[in-house]
Amino acid sequence: MRLPVAAVLVCFCAFAQQPLNLDQLVAFVRSSIQLKYADKQVASYLAHVKLTEQLDERTVEQLQGEGAGPKTMAALNELVAQSASLPKPRPKAPAPPPVTIPPPSSEEQEAVIGDVRDYAMNYSKSLPDFICTQVTRRYYDPTGLEFWRTQDTLTAKLTYFDQKEEYKLVLVNNTYTSAAYQSLGGATSAGEFGSLLRLTMEPKTDALVGWDHWATLRGRRAYVFSYRVDSFHSQWHINFENTQTIISGYRGLLYVDKDTHMVLRVMFQAVDIPSSFPVQEATTVLDYDFVKIGERDFLLPLKAVVRMRHDKLLTKNDVEFRMYRKFSAEAVVTFDTPPPLSEDQTKEQPQQGEPPKGEIPKGEPPK
């Protein structure tokens, strides 16, 4: 909300009457740019500013690059001349070195990986029978530059009963339909309720798993392990327009809750795809979160992002799982399409002093 002009003038007057150091001056100008104050008004009140430190031309040029207007620039250049005899700003104290959190011991890593394998094998068995709404927002980009265009929004009833998933399409772009998923064409996905995780961690897959980094995801501290599955042991199918299918090797990251050793996120990226196959890239990122069904909390799929590339054509599916309900003959699920989840719910929080991570690793996990 924009302040009335009179209020802006009062704020400027009060600000201009105070002696300012260089940091305060820069903060003031940047704030005026962000709030889109009139260039003439900003320049007028900069004429009354009294600096306590020297303003240099480099700082003025930087503010110009950030959007300072011509009259503001003239006032700043005048302050450069006026402050030439003032002391230079004190050098800022160096930032503290990043806090490096040591990885867990090899014994702890092995124990956690063992627990994850057991968890993956038994995950589907641990789930209750339930109903939820699955919303798939499909996008495409023919340029290959991630200028996404909306293809459609699919809302489905997902029933999980006796450890089996059943999907029934209900809405297409908020209009009721009796069509089947297969009739719509485009990319679709399945296996979010345990099969992808189980196929990765079962013993015969022989996944190579190694330490990657610590993470915080949805407020929970997590171990993050990298892994790789070769095409010989893989069971991950990539289908192109229901005409061609391959089994691809893949690699990715596993985010494991530090307290429960439950999987909070699993990331997949296809590797060694044959050059003759139409799909050149395929990735899936699947997030889980705790959901109350009945009287208990269960770790269930929250969102999956599935991306593929065919030549320059990019496709992306944002798949969200919403409104979980306990399965019963009387269960009622409404099928309004909810708004998209906030990105904060799937964003990895950086550790103190460390940059955010979360990309699928480019290297190989240790053997």
Residue 362 lies in a domain: no
Residue 19 lies in a domain: yes
What range defines the domain where residue 22 resides? 5-82
Identify the helix (H) or strand (E) that includes residue 366: none
For residue 18, CA distances in Å to 35, 44, 100, 121 come to: 21, 15, 42, 67
Q: Which of 161-165, 272-276, 281-285, 358-362 bottoms out in mean pLDDT, i.e. has the lowest?
A: 358-362
Tell me how far apart the alpha carbons of residues 320 and 155 are, in angstroms, rounded to a whole number: 10
Let me know whether 69 and 122 are in one domain: no
Position with higher pLDDT, 234 vs 355: 234
Let me know whether 49 and 112 are in one domain: no
Residue 269 lies in a domain: yes
Position with higher pLDDT, 111 vs 198: 111
What integer pLDDT is reported at residue 332 of this predicted model?
58
What integer pLDDT is reported at residue 7 of this predicted model?
42
Q: CATH number of the domain that 155 lies in? A: 2.50.20
- Average pLDDT value for the chain: 84
Instruction: Tell me the pLDDT band of 358, cut-offs 50, 70 and 90.
Output: low
The count of C-alpha atoms lying within 13 angstroms of the C-alpha of 359, restricted to the half-sphere facing its C-beta, is 5
Domain end position, chosen among 23, 50, 82? 82
Domain end position, chosen among 82, 117, 137? 82
231-249: average pLDDT: 84
Instruction: Tell me the pLDDT band of 331, cut-offs 50, 70 and 90.
Output: low
Q: What is the percent of the chain where pLDDT is above 70? A: 86
Tell me how far apart the alpha carbons of residues 227 and 200 are, in angstroms, rounded to a whole number: 9
The yes-or-no verdict on residue 291 having pLDDT over 60 is: yes
Residue 99 lies in a domain: no
Instruction: Tell me the pLDDT band of 171, cut-offs 50, 70 and 90.
Output: very high
Let me know whether 125 and 172 are in one domain: yes
119 in the Ramachandran plot: left (φ > 0), alpha (ψ -120 to 50) or beta? alpha
The one-letter amino acid at 87: P
Let me know whether 65 and 206 are in one domain: no
Let me know whether 39 and 165 are in one domain: no
Tell me how far apart the alpha carbons of residues 158 and 40 are, in angstroms, rounded to a whole number: 60
Let me know whether 55 and 187 are in one domain: no
The one-letter amino acid at 96: P
Position with higher pLDDT, 213 vs 339: 213
What integer pLDDT is reported at residue 10 of this predicted model?
43
What integer pLDDT is reported at residue 197 of this predicted model?
84
268-290: average pLDDT: 92
Q: Evaluate if pTM is beyond 0.75.
A: no
The yes-or-no verdict on residue 350 having pLDDT over 70 is: no
By three-state DSSP, how is residue 61 classified?
A: helix
Residue 96 lies in a domain: no
144 in the Ramachandran plot: left (φ > 0), alpha (ψ -120 to 50) or beta? left
What integer pLDDT is reported at residue 359 of this predicted model?
58
Residue 229 lies in a domain: yes
The yes-or-no verdict on residue 137 having pLDDT over 50 is: yes
Let me know whether 36 and 73 are in one domain: yes
Instruction: Tell me the pLDDT band of 255, cut-offs 50, 70 and 90.
Output: very high
Let me know whether 252 and 132 are in one domain: yes
Name the phi and psi angles at 282, rounded to 5. -150, 125
Let me know whether 72 and 163 are in one domain: no
Residue 306 lies in a domain: yes
SS (H, E, C) 200-256: HHCHHHCCEEEEEEEEEECCEEEEEEEEEECCCCCCEEEEECCCEEEEEEEEEEEEE
Instruction: Tell me the pLDDT band of 165, cut-offs 50, 70 and 90.
Output: confident
Let me know whether 38 and 165 are in one domain: no
Residue at token pair 């994850």: 116
Tell me how far apart the alpha carbons of residues 252 and 226 are, in angstroms, rounded to a whole number: 6
The yes-or-no verdict on residue 362 having pLDDT over 60 is: no
107-120: average pLDDT: 95
Q: Which of 111-125, 133-147, 256-270, 327-341 bottoms out in mean pLDDT, i.e. has the lowest?
A: 327-341
What integer pLDDT is reported at residue 11 of this predicted model?
47
How many domains, the chain?
Answer: 2
Contact criterion met (CB below 8 Å) for 61 and 26: no
Residue 140 lies in a domain: yes
Position with higher pLDDT, 188 vs 284: 284
User: In 3D, which of 210, 360, 202, 343 has the Cα closest to residue 281?
Assistant: 360
The yes-or-no verdict on residue 3 having pLDDT over 50 is: no
The yes-or-no verdict on residue 45 having pLDDT over 60 is: yes
What integer pLDDT is reported at residue 96 of this predicted model?
77
Taking only the tens place, the pLDDT of each residue in 188-236 is: 655 555 677 888 888 888 899 999 999 999 999 999 999 999 989 988 8
Instruction: Tell me the pLDDT band of 1, cut-offs 50, 70 and 90.
Output: very low
Domain end position, chosen among 47, 66, 82? 82
What integer pLDDT is reported at residue 194 of this predicted model?
60
Contact criterion met (CB below 8 Å) for 251 and 229: yes
Contact criterion met (CB below 8 Å) for 19 and 50: yes
- Please name the residue ranges forming H helices in the chain: 5-16, 22-34, 39-46, 57-65, 70-82, 106-126, 181-184, 195-201
User: In 3D, which of 173, 194, 43 has the Cα closest to residue 128?
Assistant: 194
Let me know whether 161 and 250 are in one domain: yes
Taking only the tens place, the pLDDT of each residue in 121-136 is: 988 888 888 998 999 9
Tokens of 185: 């064409």
Contact criterion met (CB below 8 Å) for 275 and 268: no
Let me know whether 328 and 249 are in one domain: yes
What integer pLDDT is reported at residue 337 of this predicted model?
78
